[in-house]
Structure 1
């Protein structure tokens, strides 16, 4: 009775090993008797003969390849950096990739191309440039070099990100000192600009006062002065207080009569 179960168990085992599931973000490549089939297998359950065929799965979603690499600089220094390579496989190239490169394409192709590109690009820049705003330019240049070498092989390089930069200790101190000096210079320039603006404001204010006084002095003609004198005499004559007025006819000098006692 037990022996009769062996064929059923064997058939069930074969059935379980003769199907596979290709998930989202993957394509399948079928290898039968050592030969790669030209097409790709889509998502879903795929049935195959495990004795003759093997299904190789390749991801078509974005893959993050983490690398720690030395970056040679233009002045001959070596800068350590943690780098992320974001890439993906074009599904239609999957059979060719498996046939010509193999499933270990990251180690066989992508990493060597990256190391060559990063050495070529970083050697054009000074070490301090990798720690400043030119980092984005370096990242784009590395990505462009890798794209030119890999686009015909079925790989899309989306981004190359320099996540951390470890500069030599002496260079780090020199960069910090330079940045501090630049900030001090900018602060001093701000103070000087403010003082210049204040000096300009005072000049304008003085010129305004001078022009106003000039206008007033030019408007004080002899006739106007005499008219103002007459007006003053008239107001004094109508005042109820007793006063002593001494005048030469041009301008009055008023004395309080109460204080003459």
Structure 2
């Protein structure tokens, strides 16, 4: 009994001197205040004579709420809420820890719900640059049409934020996604948006009416040209011989009409003009 007690105490102390790095996280080792440049992968480490801090290398998110940036047409947005998703390059964590040692938070402390206990390095820097990227991106779009360009706005924020982070810490951060959660304009702007939509609809209606009228006019022109061409074909088909036959038929019909009256005589000779004897 007395032999087992010291053994259990020693085992307990050894376990207490170990640090576990969970999957998806990395460790940063410090010995006498000196930070190791190599990130520790997931596993269990003996840390009796050193300190091992665990940081998240998974995708984490945070929200930017209640922003009121100005648009390109110099109108102030009423409320803009955006979600930012990013990851830290595991190999860059020790260097970031040295550079931003005072900028460490727990994920659950910066999100409203769904946060974890994992530590996030350089959160203040990322969130500050993200807010600046949102304001710059909003300034590139008009408030009256911004609600139709959420995807474009999200990409502007993502690319702008990525560029700013790469400027000082190349490859350390990856902005994986941006979600435009809320995009509200001033009520006066909303009225202008509705008015613009109605105007656009009226313009589109008029444009369609003009296109229909143009199509009908083109149809009538084609029809008239077709009829004129048909008349030309008929006229061209009347050869001199056919014209003489038509003339003879007309003369015959006229002679018959005259001869049908009592006392009239009509003589038709080959190629001669009709001789008509009208009885008195």
RMSD over aligned CA atoms reads: 2.9
Change (3 A) 1:97 1:252: farther
Match of 2:64 in 1: 67
TM-score by length of 2: 0.71
**Deviations, residues 9-37 of structure 1 (Å, cap 9, x unaligned):** 43332233233433332211112333322
Matches within 5 A, 1:32-181: 32-43=31-42, 45-50=43-48, 52-74=49-71, 75-102=74-101, 103-104=104-105, 105-133=121-149, 135-151=150-166, 152-153=168-169, 154-181=172-199
Query: Residue 229 of structure 1 contacts residue 252 of structure 1 at CA under 8 Å; is this kept in 2?
Result: no
Query: Residue 79 of structure 1 contacts residue 127 of structure 1 at CA under 8 Å; is this kept in 2?
Result: no
Query: Residue 21 of structure 2 contacts residue 27 of structure 2 at CA under 8 Å; is this kept in 1?
Result: yes
Query: Residue 161 of structure 2 contacts residue 175 of structure 2 at CA under 8 Å; is this kept in 1?
Result: yes
Query: Residue 82 of structure 2 contacts residue 182 of structure 2 at CA under 8 Å; is this kept in 1?
Result: yes
Q: Secondary structure at the match of 2:29?
A: strand
Change (3 A) 1:106 1:218: same
Q: Say whether residues 1:213 and 2:231 are aligned partners.
A: yes
Q: Give the Cα–Cα distance (whole angstroms) in 2 for the partners of residues 94 and 193 of structure 1.
A: 62
Q: Give the Cα–Cα distance (whole angstroms) in 2 for the partners of residues 222 and 250 of structure 1.
A: 20
Query: Residue 73 of structure 1 contacts residue 122 of structure 1 at CA under 8 Å; is this kept in 2?
Result: yes
Q: Give the Cα–Cα distance (whole angstroms) in 2 for the partners of residues 253 and 190 of structure 1.
A: 62
Q: Secondary structure at the match of 1:126?
A: coil
Match of 1:24 in 2: 23
Aligned pair count reads 235
Gaps of 5+ in 1: 233-246, 255-261
Query: Residue 96 of structure 2 contacts residue 122 of structure 2 at CA under 8 Å; is this kept in 1?
Result: no
Q: Secondary structure at the match of 1:177?
A: helix
Query: Residue 79 of structure 1 contacts residue 167 of structure 1 at CA under 8 Å; is this kept in 2?
Result: yes
Match of 1:239 in 2: none
Q: Secondary structure at the match of 2:252?
A: coil
TM-score by length of 1: 0.75
Q: Secondary structure at the match of 1:61?
A: coil
Change (3 A) 1:46 1:224: same
Q: Secondary structure at the match of 1:127?
A: coil
Q: Secondary structure at the match of 2:179?
A: strand
CA displacement at 1:163 relative to structure 2: 2.8
Change (3 A) 1:250 1:215: farther
CA displacement at 1:131 relative to structure 2: 1.6
Q: Give the Cα–Cα distance (whole angstroms) in 2 for the partners of residues 29 and 251 of structure 1.
A: 121
Match of 1:198 in 2: 216
